[in-house]
Amino acid sequence: MGGKLRKFVIGSLAALTLGPCAYVTCGGFYGIYRLTHYQKQKGDGHFNRKKDTMFYNEIFYEKDVLEDRLRGAMKNNKKVDYTLDIVVSEEVKRFFDDKEDYGDNDDWVDYVAESVEFLNEYNRAGIGFKIGKIEIISKEKMVKEIYGPKMCLINSSKKMVMYFTPHTRMKEFDGGRLEAIAAFAYTELGLMYIGISKNKHRNAILTLHETGHVLGLNHVPSNEYKRMFLDPFCIFYLNSFMVPNVDDCSQLKLKDSEMKQLREEHVD
Ligand SMILES: [Zn+2]
Q: Which domain holds residue 212?
A: 3-15+46-219
253 SS3 class: coil
Q: Tell me, in angstroms, the distance from the centre of ligand 1 to residue 252's CA.
A: 15
231 in Cβ contact with 25 (< 8 Å): no
| pTM of this structure | 0.81
Pick out the chain residues at pLDDT < 70: 1-41, 148-157, 173-180, 221-239, 246-250
DSSP string, 58-73: HHHHHHHHHHHHHHHH
Render pLDDT for 203-219 as a digit per residue (tens, 0 to 9): 998 999 999 999 999 88
CATH code for the domain of 123: 3.40.390
Would residue 37 count as lying in a domain?
no
Q: How far is the CA of 32 from the centre of ligand 1 (A)?
A: 25
In this prediction, residue 230 carries a pLDDT of 46
Q: Does residue 259 belong to any structural domain of this protein? A: no
**How much distance in Å is there from the Cα of 55 to the middle of ligand 1?**
34
Residue 197 to residue 109: CA distance in whole angstroms: 12
Q: How far is the CA of 16 from the centre of ligand 1 (A)?
A: 4
Measured in Å, residue 218 CA sits from the centre of ligand 1 at: 7
Write the pLDDT tens digit of every residue in 4-45.
443 344 434 555 544 332 222 222 222 233 344 444 567 778
Residue 248 belongs to a domain? no
- Classify residue 230: in a domain, yes or no: no
What span, in angstroms and rounded, lies between the C-alpha atoms of 175 and 263? Answer: 38
Query: 198 in a domain, yes or no?
Result: yes
Ligand 1 centroid, distance to 142 Cα (angstroms) = 21
Domains held by the chain: number: 1
C-alpha distances (whole Å) from 62 to each of 134, 135, 194 are 11, 11, 20
Dist. CA 188 → ligand 1 center (Å) = 14
Instruction: Flag whether 11 is in a domain.
Output: yes
Half-sphere exposure of 36 (CA within 13 A, CB side): 12
Q: Give residue 158's region: left, alpha or beta (phi > 0; psi -120 to 50).
A: alpha
Distance 124 CA to ligand 1 centre (A): 21
CA of 242 to the centre of ligand 1 (A): 6
Q: Is residue 180 part of a domain?
A: yes
- Is residue 100 one of the residues assigned to a domain? yes
Distance CA 86, CA 136 (A): 9
Q: Are strands 159-166 and 80-89 parallel, antiparallel or unpaired?
A: parallel
Output the pLDDT for position 12.
47
Identify residues whose C-beta is under 5 A from ligand 1, the ion: 14, 16
Separation of CA 219 and ligand 1 centre (Å): 6
pLDDT value at position 53? 82
